[in-house]
Structure 1
Amino acid sequence: MKSFLITLLLFVVQFFSAQEELYANGVFNFEENKTQKIFTDQTRVRQQPNVSAQILDSLQSNQQVSIIKKDDTVLQLGQRNSNWYKVSYRKENKTLEGYIWGANLCIGYRNKNGYDFLFGISKTVNKIDKNFNQNYKQNIASVKVVEGNSLIDEVFFETGSGESLSYGTFTIESNHKLQNVDFTLKAIVSGEACGIAGYDQYILFKDKKLISLPQLMNVGDADVYHHSEEFIFPNDKGGIPNAFIFKMEEMEKDENDKEKVKRLSKTYLWNGSSYKLK
């Protein structure tokens, strides 16, 4: 009888777990009646908001679309959860409509000097933590530079798990007084809960090329623990010419509420086309 009750309890737990509502990642929350851009090449436009619906069209990266409405249906692929969106777009002098999965849209996009810069997340890959001998899933993001309909360059970088996808921003900054750099792009994703890491990715743009700098990670847990990373560029206070400085600070409180602080600094030299650790 006891064995039967245990089995019944496990079944009930599994049933309600399976019925748990699926929520979309915040970075894929797009406003209705706003313009967006396609990030993933060959994005399928469907008649209805599901993967079994008829395919009406296929859109290329950088195609502009208008968000008509957000559907309640959420699809999960890997570590990406997103609603479906009904969109309209222009193609061959016609206005067309259909549904696309929101994770195929850009998290952010910018235009400067005639180039379009797109930031999005294209896939989830399986990774192995060698320290614990465990498998885990990792999102892979990228930034593309597009001129017209032509992809000029693209760089890839990791963005953590789906828990880190609550917020996302994409900005264009100055050249930070780095030699031969036109300007700097900054892509950010972060979580909304304590203990969830956020990631900052700086990308230099020069001569139609994208150059990724080492990724920065920040995470905190109330006032008990924090780990912060930043770059000091030549135009920042404490910066030096032809280099950028990596700064890390980590604080953790022990059982006696005493703070243990660790700091690290290292310098990367920039020669006008590439960087190396000093």
Structure 2
Amino acid sequence: MLLQSIKYTLLLCFLPICIHAQQTGLDTDVPDPGYWQFSAGDTAIIFADMAYIRNSPGLEGSMVSDSLQAGTKAVIVDEALSSSTIKGFRAPWQEIRYRKGGQEKHGYIWLGLLAIGHTTIDNGQICLYGFDRYIPVQGDHYASFSCAVKLIGPQQQIVARHPFSFGYTEQSATEIKGLNGMGLKGLRNIIWIGFLGEACAISSDYFYFGWNGSTFIPLPGAYRVSDAGVFYHSEQMLFPSEHKKAANIIYKMIEEGVSIEEGEGKEMLYKIKKKKETYLWNGKWYVKVKGSK
């Protein structure tokens, strides 16, 4: 109880100060997440259901007759150019090279229409994710991105999609991994998406989606946050192939630490508390076991 009291006191006193300052800036300044880091020659993939190409970088450029659907690959021609605010957030433009109607063409695209990342799963299908819209601070709700994960079939058709919301507090990086079913009955793959924070109690948020061959199923998520010398909170998901126990169980291992000693020449000591959440999987959905800890 002492640890819990200290932890929440710190969270209440420290986090709102840190995050409020960030969110205030985000509320007045349009965010530029900067997750699209392309160099000349890199291959990018369209995330938007339909992306229109322009003849010059910027909203003043005329839209050419070409439109590229989700899953289409394009090659980056040159370095990033000027930025524009569309869908509530800011991103640059880049020149791309693509094929349309059997011909190679050039044009400019706003990077917010591209996938942030992608991975290959389930017989070579491409799983990608990106942003649909930025939602600024609204009352007691922090800023967030409306996101989606999509699976693209061999004919560049959208086989499946699932929306999710990502609470943006200036996380500095993002990544995606395609795992196997990790021992969960009925799943072919598990998609892992992370938005990673690195400073000032900015959390790293992890999203998991099961793929059963026809639809995405959201699984329990996890997060990590810390402030050096003050506290940390860490969550780790364990699936059947990892914990080697029952095939219908998912564990979330949680560890919290609050510093109790510091000073010159002294080793940092933490008051640590560990607990475990248990989720039952029935092949189609999961349910948290009440009182699991």
Deviation per CA, 1:82-135: give whole Å up to 9, x if none. 22111010011111111111121111122330422112122112464xxxx535
- Matched with 1:117 is 127
Percent identity reads: 26
- Matched with 1:29 is 37
Unaligned 5+ runs, structure 1: 1-16
Unaligned 5+ runs, structure 2: 1-24, 263-267
1:255 shift after superposition: 8.8
- Matched with 2:60 is 52
- Matched with 2:73 is 64
- Please identify which structure carries the higher strand content: 1
Show the 5 A alignment for 1:210-229. 210-229=216-235
- Matched with 1:181 is 187
CA contact (8 A) 2:131 2:145 kept: yes
What amino acid is the match of 1:265?
Answer: K
- Matched with 1:269 is 280
Partner of 2:77: helix, strand, or coil? strand
Show the 5 A alignment for 1:65-144. 65-77=74-86, 80-112=89-121, 113-126=123-136, 128=138, 133-144=139-150
TM-score (norm 1): 0.82
| Distance of 1:80 and 1:264 partners within structure 2 | 38
CA contact (8 A) 2:87 2:132 kept: no
Deviation per CA, 1:197-228: give whole Å up to 9, x if none. 11111111113211111221111112322111
Partner of 1:70: helix, strand, or coil? coil
Runs of 4+ in 1 over 4 A off after TM superposition: 21-24, 254-258
| Distance of 1:258 and 1:71 partners within structure 2 | 46
CA contact (8 A) 1:24 1:74 kept: no
CA contact (8 A) 2:169 2:202 kept: no
1:243 shift after superposition: 1.1
| Distance of 2:248 and 2:156 partners within structure 1 | 34
What amino acid is the match of 2:158?
Answer: L
What amino acid is the match of 2:185?
Answer: Q
What amino acid is the match of 1:101?
Answer: W
Q: Does 1:208 align with 2:219?
A: no
Residue among 236, 241, 247 paired with 1:241: 247
CA contact (8 A) 2:71 2:156 kept: yes
Q: Does 1:41 align with 2:49?
A: yes
Deviation per CA, 1:145-189: give whole Å up to 9, x if none. 12123222111222221611x211111112111112112111111
Show the 5 A alignment for 1:150-189. 150-161=157-168, 163-164=170-171, 166-189=172-195
Q: How many pairs are equivalent?
A: 254
The farther-off stretch of 23-32 and 41-50 is: 23-32
| Distance of 2:84 and 2:60 partners within structure 1 | 12
Distance change (3 Å), C-alpha of 1:45 and 1:79: same
1:76 shift after superposition: 3.7
Distance change (3 Å), C-alpha of 1:140 and 1:23: closer
| Distance of 1:78 and 1:36 partners within structure 2 | 20
| Distance of 1:213 and 1:127 partners within structure 2 | 26
CA contact (8 A) 1:239 1:245 kept: no
Distance change (3 Å), C-alpha of 1:239 and 1:229: farther
